[in-house]
Amino acid sequence: MIKPEKPVNEAVRLAALYRYRILDSEKEKSFEDLVTIAKAVCGASMAAVTLIDAERQWFKSIQGTEAQELPRSESMCGHAILQPEQVMVVEDAQRDVRFHDNPIVTGDPKVRFYAGAPLVSTEGLPLGTLCVFDPQPQRLDAQQTEALAALSRQVMLVMELRRFALDIQTHMVERDDYERLLGEYHDVLLAQNADLAEQSRTDVLTGLPNRRAMAVALDASVLDADGQPRQTAVALVDIDHFKQINDFNGHATGDRVLAELGVLLRAQFSGRGLAARYGGEEFVVLMPDTDLRTAELQCDFLRMAVSDLPLGFPVTVSIGVAAHRSGDTVEQTLERADSALYRAKGNGRNRVELAP
């Protein structure tokens, strides 16, 4: 195991860290939200906001494992802060000479994949990281890497606002000034929380709502304002042979296909329903107040429009459609749509199949 070196300006770095008065503080929702988003965006099972103290790595927020702190000598984040201008990615720690015999790799939580975006203060000093990690080897694409870096900047904004609030409480004496500054802080937090709420409901690559947002919309769409059943159709859309697109054209091209399909779905169903990225190359379309045959026609129009996308190579989709039935749960409706999608793929792909 190679222990992380300390930055040449370590004393200045530590002094900056201590000014935030954040070490050993209680959990706070703003940090928890950012860790949740980072974990979802990067597809990792664990994520954390870490701060590098003199001899330890302390977790302001951590999800997926129970650790509260680690010796700095075992810290991957201790290596990440040595290059504060970039995200450090370790696709397989067992193959990295720095970490292959590290206790967090050989023992719990058996880290194989790690990515850490340094938390850089306004003075340019690295204080810790926003990191994601997983017991399986993994890679990040360019969009995920940039998203992790953007979220690390959001962590620093929360830290700055937190320090600002503490400074107000410590130094302000006059009531009018205190209330004015506290109001400004509150407005900034409200704006940031609105932005975080939007990020937690939106797929980074396609700009469509994500699976979490779709689940909420599905629950709301099957009943009217009086709580009575509402006619609603649901479609699952899957890109045919998407693995081959990635294998033969590269992941960047695969991402372009996903993004273009996101634009098409948003254009076709805007105002008449909701389309979301369901996971991987699969999308879900919600069509309220739509009978099954009308939904079939709309999905067939979508299928033909996908075939006409100017991508430079042929792309098709298979679609399964189900009408929500009174008494069924939304999960059961999705399962029926998924069965119809399975038939569409089994019957040759590039087609629409209806659930009975």
- ∠ Cα 341 291 325 (to 5°): 70
Give how far Cα 44 sits from Cα of 66, 91, 130, 149, Å.
16, 12, 13, 15
What's the rounded Cα separation, in Å, for the pair 30 and 192?
Answer: 9
Region of residue 203 (phi > 0: left; psi between -120 and 50: alpha; otherwise: beta): beta
Q: How large is the C-alpha radius of gyration of the chain?
A: 24
Token couple for 318: 């298979």
Decide if 282 is catalytic.
Answer: no
Handedness of CA 163, 169, 171, 177 (dihedral sign): positive
What's the rounded Cα separation, in Å, for the pair 349 and 92?
Answer: 36
**Could you tell me how far CA 242 lies from the centroid of its own chain?**
21
**Active-site residue identified among 146, 260, 281, 331:** 281
* Residue 314 CB burial class (10 angstroms; 0-12, 13-18, ≥19): exposed
CB 61 within 8 A of CB 27: yes
Active-site annotation, residues: 281
